[in-house]
Amino acid sequence: AQSVTQLGSHVSVSEGALVLLRCNYSSSVPPYLFWYVQYPNQGLQLLLKYTSAATLVKGINGFEAEFKKSETSFHLTKPSAHMRDAAEYFCAVSDKGVTGGGNKLTFGTGTQLKVEL
Closer by beta carbon to other proteins, 22 or else 49: 49
Closer by beta carbon to other proteins, 75 or else 108: 108
17 in Cβ contact with 116 (< 8 Å)? no
Q: What is the distance between the alpha carbons of residues 89 and 36, in angstroms, rounded to a whole number?
A: 6
Closer by beta carbon to other proteins, 77 or else 106: 106
Among the residues of the chain, which ranges form H helices?
Answer: none
| Sign (positive or negative) of CA dihedral 67, 111, 84, 44 | positive
Could you tell me the smallest distance in angstroms from the CB atom of residue 71 to other proteins?
21
Closer by beta carbon to other proteins, 14 or else 26: 26
Could you tell me the smallest distance in angstroms from the CB atom of residue 5 to other proteins?
11
To the nearest 10°, report the CA torsion of 53, 55, 59, 64.
180
Binding site for other proteins (CB under 8 A): 9, 32, 34, 41-46, 49, 51, 90, 94, 96, 99-110
Could you tell me the smallest distance in angstroms from the CB atom of residue 80 to other proteins?
26
